[in-house]
Chain A
Amino acid sequence: MTSLPRDGAPPLAIDTPIRRRVLLLARRRPTTRGSLLALLALALAVMLAPLLAPQNPYDLASLSVMDNRLAPGEQGMGGITYWLGTDSQGRDMLSAILHGMRTSLIVGVASTAIALAIGVAAGLVAAQFGGAIDSAIMRLVDFMLGFPSILVALVLLSAIGRGVDKVILAIVLVQWAQYARLMRAAAMVERRKEYIEAAVNFGLPTRHIMLAHLLPNSIGSVLVVATISIASAIALEATLSFLGVGVPVTQPSLGLLIANGFEFLLSGEYWIAVFPGLALVALIMSINLIGDRLRRSLNRRAL
Chain B
Amino acid sequence: MSAPLLELKGITRHFSAKRSLAEHILGAFGHASAQPKILRAVEGVDLEIRKGEVLGLVGESGCGKSTLARVATGILPPTAGSLAYAGRDVATLSRAQRLEYLLKVQMVFQDPYASLDPRMNVERIVGEALAVHKLAPRGDIAARVEKALTEVGLDPAYAKRYPHQFSGGQRQRIGIARALAVEPDLLVCDEPVSALDVSIQAQIVNLFLDIRAKRAMTYLFVSHDLGIVRHVSDRVAIMYLGRIVEIGPAQEVFSSPAHPYAAALIGAIPSLSRRKRSFEPIPGEMPSPLAPPSGCPFHPRCAHALPVCSERRPVLAPIAPGRQAACHLHAAEAAS
Contacts and interface: CB of A to CB of B under 8 A. Distances in A.
Q: Do A and B come from one complex?
A: yes
Interface string B205-220: 0000000000000000
A13 interface: yes
A205 B132 contact: yes
A200 B71 CA distance: 12
Contacts of A195: 114-117
B71 to A, nearest CB: 12
Interface string A205-221: 10010001100110000
B173 to A, nearest CB: 15
Contacts of A193: 114-115
Contacts of B129: 202-204
Interface string B94-114: 000011001100110111001
Contacts of B114: 193-195
A71 B115 CA distance: 66
Contacts of A212: 128
Contacts of B73: 201
A11 to B, nearest CB: 12
Nearest to B101: A203
Given A197-B75, A201-B102, A14 B133 contact: no
B118 interface: yes
Contacts of B103: 202-203
Interface residues of A, number: 20
B109 A204 contact: no
A235 to B, nearest CB: 33
A15 B118 contact: yes
A159 interface: no
Contacts of A217: 117-119
Interface in A57-76: none
A266 interface: no
Contacts of B110: 194
Interface of A: 13-15, 193-195, 197-205, 208, 212-213, 216-217
Interface of B: 70, 73-75, 98-99, 102-103, 106-107, 109-111, 114-119, 128-129, 132-133, 162, 164, 175, 178, 182
26 contacts: A15-B119, A193-B114, A194-B110, A194-B111, A194-B114, A195-B115, A195-B116, A197-B70, A197-B75, A197-B109, A197-B115, A198-B107, A198-B115, A198-B175, A201-B102, A202-B102, A202-B133, A202-B182, A203-B103, A204-B129, A204-B132, A205-B132, A208-B132, A213-B117, A217-B118, A217-B119
Given A198-B178, A201-B106, 19 more contacts: A194-B110, A195-B115, A197-B75, A197-B115, A198-B115, A201-B73, A201-B102, A202-B102, A202-B103, A203-B129, A204-B128, A204-B129, A204-B132, A204-B133, A208-B132, A216-B119, A217-B117, A217-B118, A217-B119
